[in-house]
Amino acid sequence: MNATVALRIERQDGAHGFDDPAVPGGWTIEAVTARAVPKLRYPKTDVSSGKPLRYSMLHDGVELPRDQTVGTVFPKRRARVHVVHEYVNAGR
């Protein structure tokens, strides 16, 4: 039913990245971001507070809506994206 999308997922600083050639088109951007965080070697929790950290996915410098599906956001079925820390993490 939902086609897959080939994504190149990278940290914005270029330190780590990976190719995922078959991301299900029905997955939300939030689900893909959550699965990408450990592969990009980002921490999941704030060391000082113990609270979970949040991340966003960007495409061409624009934040992607978390509730949109991968198939809707990337109709060409191929894209390069970046996962970045959210500003809400700062100072918490």
For 12-43, write each residue's pLDDT tens digit. Answer: 999 999 999 999 999 999 999 999 999 999 99
**Most confident residue range from 12-16, 35-39, 44-48, 82-86:** 35-39
Rounded to whole angstroms, how far apart are CA atoms 37 and 68?
A: 18
pTM for this model (two decimals): 0.87
Per-residue pLDDT, averaged over 61-68, amounts to: 95
pLDDT > 90? residue 4: yes
Mean residue pLDDT of the chain comes to: 91
Distances from the Cα of 69 to the Cα of 15, 44, 53, angstroms = 27, 23, 22
- Domains of the chain by start residue, with CATH: 4-89 (3.10.20.90)
